[in-house]
C-alpha cells in the first residue's frame, strides 16, 4: 500500500547518472505533489515581483532591438525546470509552472488571465523536455533542454497576441532569443537553484537531496 513502498537501492558509489524518482514513476507521493505545488506557489510570488521589475530592463533591451525582450521573458520559464528537476515524475514540470502562473496572476499582472495561458504553454514545453529524455536524466543537460523547450509554445502564442505586426524576421529572432535565454536563464539558473536547495537540506525526500548527500560523503 501507499506508505509501504519499495525504495530504490542506494549504492554508495559515486553516480554518474541521475537518481530517478522512487518507482513507480507515476506513483506520486503526497510529498511530491505538495512540494511541486509549494515550489510553484513560492516561485509564483517571485514571478509576480519580476512582473513589476522587468519593465525597466525590458524597455532598455527593446530599445536596442525589440526581439531582445525575449531575454527578460526567460525568468518566467524557471518553475517548470525546477519542478521537473526536483520531483522527476511525469507532470511535475507542467504542474509547477501552472501553479506559479496561477499564483502570479491572482494579485494582478499586466497580462491578466493570459498569465495562466502562458503558464500552461511554458510548462508543457518544459515537460516535453523531460519527456524526450524518458524521465531518466536530470543533469545540467536536461535542465538546459527543458529550459529551451519552455519557450517555443509560448513564442507562437505571443506571435498571435502581442507581436502580431512584427515581421517574420523579428518574430523568428524573438523565438530564437527566448529559446536560448530560456536554456541559459531558466535551465541554467533552475539547475543551480535545485542544487542549492538540495545542499540546504530542503530536498531530503527527493533524488536531488540524495545526490547532494552522496556527493557530500556519508556522515
User: Whole-number minimum distance, CB 204 to other proteins, in Å?
Assistant: 5
Q: How far apart are CA 130 and CA 117, in angstroms?
A: 21
User: Whole-number minimum distance, CB 150 to other proteins, in Å?
Assistant: 19
The residue (of 10 and 141) whose beta carbon lies closer to other proteins is: 10
User: Whole-number minimum distance, CB 164 to other proteins, in Å?
Assistant: 6
The residue (of 73 and 145) whose beta carbon lies closer to other proteins is: 73
> What is the C-alpha end-to-end distance of the chain, expressed in Å?
31
The residue (of 179 and 211) whose beta carbon lies closer to other proteins is: 211
The cell 511525469 sits on which residue? 90
User: Whole-number minimum distance, CB 152 to other proteins, in Å?
Assistant: 19
Q: How far apart are CA 7 and CA 177, in angstroms?
A: 42
User: Whole-number minimum distance, CB 17 to other proteins, in Å?
Assistant: 16
The residue (of 132 and 192) whose beta carbon lies closer to other proteins is: 192
The residue (of 102 and 172) whose beta carbon lies closer to other proteins is: 102
Amino acid at each position: 500500500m501507499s506508505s509501504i513502498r519499495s525504495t530504490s537501492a542506494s549504492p554508495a558509489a559515486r553516480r554518474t547518472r541521475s537518481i530517478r524518482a522512487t518507482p513507480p514513476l507515476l506513483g506520486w507521493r503526497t510529498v511530491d505533489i505538495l512540494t511541486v505545488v509549494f515550489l510553484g506557489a513560492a516561485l509564483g510570488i517571485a514571478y509576480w515581483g519580476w512582473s513589476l521589475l522587468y519593465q525597466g530592463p525590458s524597455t532598455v533591451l527593446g530599445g536596442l532591438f525589440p526581439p531582445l525582450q525575449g531575454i527578460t521573458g526567460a525568468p518566467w520559464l524557471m518553475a517548470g525546470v525546477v519542478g521537473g528537476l526536483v520531483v522527476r515524475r511525469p507532470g511535475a514540470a507542467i504542474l509547477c509552472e501552472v501553479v506559479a502562473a496561477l499564483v502570479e496572476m491572482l494579485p494582478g499582472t499586466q497580462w491578466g488571465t493570459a498569465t495562466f495561458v502562458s503558464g500552461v504553454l511554458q510548462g508543457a514545453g518544459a515537460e516535453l523536455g523531460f519527456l524526450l529524455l524518458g524521465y531518466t536524466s536530470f543533469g545540467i543537460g536536461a535542465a538546459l533542454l527543458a529550459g529551451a523547450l519552455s519557450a517555443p509554445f509560448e513564442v507562437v502564442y505571443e506571435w498571435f497576441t502581442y507581436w502580431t505586426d512584427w515581421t517574420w524576421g523579428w518574430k523568428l529572432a524573438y523565438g530564437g532569443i527566448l529559446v536560448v535565454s530560456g536554456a541559459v536563464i531558466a535551465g541554467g539558473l533552475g539547475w543551480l537553484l535545485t542544487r542549492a536547495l538540495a545542499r540546504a537540506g530542503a530536498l531530503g525526500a527527493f533524488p536531488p537531496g540524495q545526490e547532494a548527500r552522496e556527493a557530500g560523503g556519508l556522515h
